[in-house]
Amino acid sequence: MIKAFITRLRQGYKTIGFPRTAAAPPERFRGLPNVNNHACAGGDCAACIAVCPTKAVSLDKGLCIDLGACIFCGACAKACPQGAIRFTPNHVLSARARHDLLCGENSMPAVKALSKDMLRIFGRSLKLRQVSAGGCNACEADINVLGTIVYDLGRFGVQIVASPRHADGLLITGPVTKNMQVALLKTYEAVPDPKIVVAVGACAINGGPFVNCTQHLHGVTEILPVDLFIPGCPPHPLTILDGILRLLGKIK
Ligand code: SF4
């Protein structure tokens, strides 16, 4: 018993201070892209468009990256001879509306908190049912990490539950394969109103790396209303936590 106490004392307090203290993503983390329109040579070059595996880059209205489609592979930044794209370690990537994920030189995603009425219901206790709608398990793994001692999602009153009937909303991963479509709709119907839907990862938002596949939908929005989009492939646990906390008004 004494040994257990000594080990516990040696280990100390493992939970991160975020959001009280600044987030510290790993050194190699690719977060919010910094897009420099002035440096971009536009359609004369288009090297970024040629290398992007998910068609996330566009030049129609200036250089723009769709964070909902981007898998953060970094190929566009490497391919650009002018260095017009640079990935920063900023983990704040989520948005309430799909079009807010379009990241140009002067635009970046932002999350508006739920309405006052919804916050009265969910602000202090939010139970979410996770549905893997054809995901590769990477997003699911990073959602699991949120339950560990390091992130301790429960300290914010947010919990992943086993049954949709006990849930306030769905946390959906994967591009929604045709085989999962009915199961997802039934799970959604089983959640009592009012409810929220969170799309986690490039697949759930836009189809991700499977964007050209015909055996799935291109994200959750094709069949369900989405309240929060969390980009990434997979999103870092800090990005998921940040998005949920902003939705609950715990980060302004
Ligand atoms: S980082 Fe995103 S935008 Fe750039 S090439 Fe990869 S998927 Fe496309």
Q: How far is the centre of ligand 1, averaged over its atoms, from the C-alpha of 143 (Å)?
A: 23
Q: How far is the centre of ligand 1, averaged over its atoms, from the C-alpha of 16 (Å)?
A: 30
> Domain spanning 116-247 has what CATH number?
3.40.50.12280
Cα gap 171→127, rounded to integer Å: 10
CB neighbour list of residue 56: distance below 8 Å, 6 or more residues apart: 65, 66, 67, 69, 70, 71, 76
Ligand 1 pocket test target in 30, 35, 72, 102 with most atoms within 8 Å of CB = 72
SS3 content of the chain, % helix, strand, coil (to 5): 35, 15, 50
**pLDDT band, residue 12 (cuts 50/70/90):** confident
How confident is the model over 118-163, as pLDDT tens digits? Answer: 999 999 999 999 999 998 999 999 999 999 999 999 999 999 999 9
Fill in the amino acid letter for 75: A
Average pLDDT, the chain: 93
Cα gap 17→165, rounded to integer Å: 32
pLDDT of residue 8: 84
Query: DSSP secondary-structure letter at 244?
Result: H
pLDDT of residue 196: 97
Q: Is the CB of 92 under 6 A from ligand 1?
A: no
The structure's pTM equals 0.93
Q: How far is the centre of ligand 1, averaged over its atoms, from the C-alpha of 57 (Å)?
A: 7
Instruction: Pick the atom of ligand 1 nearest to 55's CA.
Output: 8
Domain boundaries, the chain: 116-247
